[in-house]
Amino acid sequence: MKRRELLASMAFGTIFPALCLSQQPYPANPVKGLVGFPPGTAADVAGRAVTEAMSRRLGQPFVVDNRAGAGSNIAAKALVTAPADGYTLLVSTIANTINAAFPGSTSVDPLKEFAPVTLIGNVPNVLVVHPSVAASVADLVRLAKEKPGSLAYASSGVGTSPHLSGELFAMMTGTKVTHVPYRGSTPAVTDLLGSQVQFMFGPASTVLPHVRAGKLNALAVTSAKRTSIAPDLPTMEETGLKGFESSVWVGLVLPFNTPAEVTGKLRAAAHAAIDSPDVQRTFRAQGIEPMKTSQEEFTQYMRSEAARWGKLIQTAGIKPE
């Protein structure tokens, strides 16, 4: 290339860097992965495992950015204000759908403001009780009916999956129980261990270590099928509560209007990552059931979750914090 042409080319790249970047194959830069919860949570563990494997496949770093707070809404707002270019994604969970289901909510609406990539995993809640309380779901229901309002259950916060699992339990069993919200699963489990509350629906990865240590009794899982991490535990439906299902699902989403080519490339990389031995090993250890979906399947799943939990929120009269 002649000197004059070289200088012109360099000047063009300096003046119009975005245009030059757009001509490079995606991804040409590192990708930021927003997580709306602290490190060590199910969403964080699943998101880190999958995006790390994706980075090896795509040849660019995926940098995890934990923006905890407001039930993942802080991270969701950071996503929807980012450019729709594929360089910012969110590890989305059921929390984003629940937030938007509250009447008059100002939270990000995932059905209008997200471009779904794929579901990556599902973490069932486990119904656990202090050993002094009950040995079965039937025992817990009987006790709740004998002493209305005397049993308290912990959750990781108002509007979270563990909270709504408790509301669903009360509604389906016709019992009155007291909800005690905490700022996260760890303090909730601490008070359950100390018998300040009597039961809770907690993520499998959080509560099962205490079950194995003999400090809590596990009564059932909330997933539609038994979980591989605790195959001996019955589902809530198997205990007689037909249709009871509540899990913490995790997926990857981009800002609305992200080009389909970019979304498709990330989906293919995510699906390959989920199948990799490293991710499978991490998921098994944490009780995360792998999931892979198309964009349409993920969209429909979020739509059905929004309708289901929105109805429960309205019926139970739950108000956001």
Cβ neighbours of 195 (radius 10 Å): 11
pLDDT, tens digit (0-9, with 9 covering 90-100), for 95-122 = 999 999 998 899 999 999 999 999 999 9
User: Fold match between 26-122+249-316 and 124-221?
Assistant: yes
- Predicted confidence at residue 22, as pLDDT, reads 52
Share of the chain above pLDDT 90, in %: 75
**Sign of the dihedral through C-alpha 192, 170, 168, 218:** positive
Peptide bond into 277 cis (omega under 30): no
Beta bridge partners of 249: 122
DSSP-derived secondary structure letter, 184: S
Q: What band does 286 get if pLDDT is binned at 50, 70 and 90?
A: confident
pLDDT, tens digit (0-9, with 9 covering 90-100), for 183-237 = 888 899 999 999 999 999 998 888 999 999 999 999 999 998 898 888 999 999 9
Q: Please say whether the beta carbons of 37 and 43 come within 8 A.
A: yes
Question: Is residue 6 predicted with pLDDT exceeding 50?
Answer: no
- Predicted confidence at residue 247, as pLDDT, reads 87
Cβ neighbours of 132 (radius 10 Å): 8
- What is the mean pLDDT of the segment spanning 270-285? 96
- Is the domain spanning 26-122+249-316 CATH 3.10.20.90? The answer is no
- Predicted confidence at residue 227, as pLDDT, reads 87
Determine the Cα–Cα distance for residues 60 and 49; give it in Å rounded to an integer.
15
- Predicted confidence at residue 82, as pLDDT, reads 98
Question: Is residue 65 predicted with pLDDT exceeding 80?
Answer: yes
Q: Is 167 exposed, middle or buried (0-12, 13-18, 19+ CB in 10 A)?
A: buried
Token pair of 161 as six digits: 């999956």
- What is the mean pLDDT of the segment spanning 32-40? 92
Token pair of 172 as six digits: 């389906």
Question: Is residue 3 predicted with pLDDT exceeding 60?
Answer: no
- Predicted confidence at residue 18, as pLDDT, reads 46
- Predicted confidence at residue 194, as pLDDT, reads 96
- Predicted confidence at residue 68, as pLDDT, reads 87
| CATH code reported for the domain at 124-221 | 3.40.190.10
Question: Is residue 12 predicted with pLDDT exceeding 60?
Answer: no
Question: Is residue 8 predicted with pLDDT exceeding 80?
Answer: no
**Sequence ranges of the domains in the chain:** 26-122+249-316, 124-221
Question: Is residue 93 predicted with pLDDT exceeding 90?
Answer: yes
Q: What band does 243 get if pLDDT is binned at 50, 70 and 90?
A: very high
Q: Please say whether the beta carbons of 126 and 137 come within 8 A.
A: no
Question: Is residue 16 predicted with pLDDT exceeding 70?
Answer: no
